[in-house]
């Protein structure tokens, strides 16, 4: 059984990336468990806070989920042509203390996906993530990228994916990543 973890990089209730993450759970192939994680509750990184009380519980919980997963998919929004601050902040907490970097990121397969209302999906955000994840020693899967443009037209009012072509692309992406992850186990 291959265990994937999806993390949405948005805190917004009606986030296209959280909706895409939920849709990914529904298209995961047989033999794959697909869990989700949230960034809610992770405070802004503050070295003084870390020195006083260590890594916050919400960041530790996310760290444990990543360590338990065979592969991780970052469902990233794109803010001002780059990564969302809240998502980068969470990754910064996950790299604390530095001794945990290898355990959390080292050689672990990570994939990038994202949707936006614009025409380019989240290509610039995904590109910006590459340097961050390489620095942390993660294995960035380059088999496919999933960029979902015009996401504001693809979900119904309840946040369910209504576009069949996008569902098929998403399913192919999840299957290909899961197959890749299974070769690493």
Model pLDDT, residue 166: 97
Identify whether 117 is part of a domain. Answer: yes
CATH of the domain at 162: 3.40.50.360
The CA–CA distances, whole Å, from 51 to 9, 42, 61, 97, 160 equal: 26, 16, 19, 10, 42
Identify whether 2 is part of a domain. Answer: no
Average pLDDT over all residues of the chain: 96
E strand or H helix that includes residue 132: helix 123-135
Identify whether 1 is part of a domain. Answer: no
Best CA proximity match to 111, nearest among 1, 31, 12, 2: 2
35 and 65 Cβ atoms separated by less than 8 Å:
yes
Distance CA 5, CA 17 (A): 14
Q: What distance, in Å, lies between the first and last C-alpha atoms of the chain? A: 10
Compute the average pLDDT of residues 72-85: 96
pLDDT digits (tens, 9 = 90+) for 90-146: 999 999 999 999 999 999 999 999 999 999 999 999 999 999 999 999 999 988 889
Distance CA 145, CA 90 (A): 22
Helical residues (DSSP H) of the chain, grouped into ranges? 16-27, 47-53, 57-68, 85-94, 101-104, 123-135, 164-184
Number of domains in the chain: 1
pLDDT digits (tens, 9 = 90+) for 5-43: 999 999 999 999 999 999 999 999 999 999 999 999 999
Compute the average pLDDT of residues 80-99: 97
pLDDT digits (tens, 9 = 90+) for 43-75: 999 999 999 999 999 999 999 999 999 999 999
Model pLDDT, residue 144: 83
Identify whether 162 is part of a domain. Answer: yes
Model pLDDT, residue 184: 84
Domain residue limits at 16: 7-184
């Amino acid at each position: 059984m291959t265990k994937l973890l999806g993390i949405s990089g948005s805190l917004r209730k009606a986030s296209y990336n959280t909706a895409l993450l939920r849709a990914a759970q529904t298209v995961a192939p047989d033999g794959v468990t697909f869990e989700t994680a949230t960034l809610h509750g992770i405070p802004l990184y503050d070295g003084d806070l870390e020195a006083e009380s260590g890594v916050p519980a919400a960041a530790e919980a996310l760290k444990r989920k990543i360590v338990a997963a065979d592969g991780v998919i970052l469902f990233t929004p794109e803010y001002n042509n780059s990564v969302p601050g809240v998502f980068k902040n969470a990754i910064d907490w996950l790299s604390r203390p530095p001794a945990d970097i290898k355990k959390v990121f080292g050689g672990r397969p990570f994939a990038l996906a994202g949707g936006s209302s614009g025409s380019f999906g989240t290509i610039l955000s995904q590109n910006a993530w590459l340097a961050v994840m390489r620095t942390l020693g993660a294995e960035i899967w380059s088999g496919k990228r999933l960029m979902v443009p015009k996401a504001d037209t693809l979900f119904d009012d309840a946040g369910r994916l209504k576009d069949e072509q996008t569902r098929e692309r998403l399913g192919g992406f999840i299957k290909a990543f899961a197959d890749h992850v299974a070769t690493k186990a």
